[in-house]
Amino acid sequence: MTAAAIEICQTYKRYGQLQALNGINLRIEKGEFFGLLGPNGAGKTTLINLLSGLALPDAGQLRIHGYDVVRQYRTSRRMLGVVPQELVFDPFFTVRETLRLQSGFFGLHHNETWINTVMHNLGLTDKADTNMRRLSGGMKRRVLVAQALVHKPPVIVLDEPTAGVDVELRQSLWHFIRQLNRDGHTILLTTHYLEEAEALCTRIAMLKQGRVIALDSTQNLLGALTGCRVRLKLVGKLPASLLPQVIEQTDKDFLLTLPSYSALEPMLKTLRTFGITIQEMTLQQPDLEEVFLRMVRRDMQ
């Protein structure tokens, strides 16, 4: 079998009394745009730390393009570019110097053309000679992305890359990352913005307490949910028989969940029976957030 971009086999990691990872198995193929979702403490960052060599697994095996992250650390690390959550930077260098230094870590001495390309695509060209400590938080985030890409790794890990950044950066970043994915780079994304995962990822794993509780294509995960939501703006009081289906209410606006589209007509009939007028009505498809919440609730039962 051809080596996958990322292979994680029966991986365990404990910190004191906390079982951070509890037998994780994942295989991410080359060229995938893969989402890793989960609440705080689910084990996402621990998994990334193991892949990047910042921590060692207690048991199991992790490989990047077939290279073991422990026994073949140097080679596996060259295969990987990581954008961390934290804004970590050296305050003594300019943006260009930072990227040149990062290139040097990977033995790249004539990398100026690619550095210029990365800076251009991330909107950093006019900041190339600016000291890192003078950049805004959003600009520092862009430099972190550039550092992860400076050695052209085939696998790119994005750990909450757009947390706390402005919309403009988010859009420009995703435009660039999509292009890298189209060019053949494998992308592993963790994010709290579920709409990002829904729009970008072709396959998703959901973690909870160090275990994979769901693993499927984004389309299949969304398709597994039956039913729909309907948002109503009413003139009149919602009948008591419909109150159990209300999941959100603001004044005369109601968001109801229905078990299926066939339940829509009985709901409308009830409203007509009580003489209630509908001012506005919108049907909503289930989204990834609802999938995630249902999976977590099911796992807790």
Angle, vertex CA 243, rays to CA 239 and CA 247, nearest 5: 140
Query: What pLDDT sits at residue 86?
Result: 82
Tokens of 42: 């689910």
Which residue stretches of 8-72 are H helix? 44-52
Q: Which of 51, 40, 39, 65 is nearest to 13 (CA)?
A: 51
At 196, is the pLDDT very low, low, confident or very high (cuts 50, 70, 90)? Answer: confident
pLDDT in tens, 100-122: 999 999 989 889 999 999 999 88
At 299, is the pLDDT very low, low, confident or very high (cuts 50, 70, 90)? Answer: low
Whole-angstrom Cα distance, residue 182 to residue 9? 27
Query: The pTM is what?
Result: 0.77
Indicate the domain borders of the chain.
6-222, 226-285
226-285: in CATH 3.30.70:
yes
> Which of 1-5, 162-166, 219-223 has the highest average model confidence (pLDDT)?
1-5
Q: Which of 62, 22, 61 is nearest to 210 (CA)?
A: 22
At 9, is the pLDDT very low, low, confident or very high (cuts 50, 70, 90)? Answer: very high
Query: What pLDDT sits at residue 286?
Result: 62
pLDDT in tens, 12-60: 999 999 999 999 999 999 999 999 988 888 899 999 999 999 999 999 9
The CATH label, of 3.40.50.300, 3.40.50.720, 3.30.70.360, 3.40.50.10420, for the domain at 6-222 is: 3.40.50.300
Q: Does the structure show a pLDDT above 80 at 130?
A: yes
Fold equal for 6-222 and 226-285: no
Residue that has been written with the tokens 């198995």 in this structure: 25
Tokens of 210: 């160090």
Cβ atoms of residues 144 and 124 within 8 Å: no
Q: Which of 19, 77, 23 is nearest to 49 (CA)?
A: 77
Cβ atoms of residues 30 and 186 within 8 Å: yes
**What is the arithmetic mean of pLDDT over 229-249?**
88
Task: Please state the φ and ψ torsions of residue 226, each to the nearest 5 degrees.
Answer: -95, 165
- Bridge partners of 246? 256
Cβ atoms of residues 225 and 294 within 8 Å: yes
Q: Does the structure show a pLDDT above 90 at 1?
A: no
Tokens of 99: 């990227």
Q: Does the structure show a pLDDT above 70 at 300?
A: no
Q: Does the structure show a pLDDT above 90 at 161?
A: no
Q: Does the structure show a pLDDT above 80 at 224?
A: no
Query: What pLDDT sits at residue 227?
Result: 66
Residue that has been written with the tokens 């249902």 in this structure: 294
3-state secondary structure of 72: coil
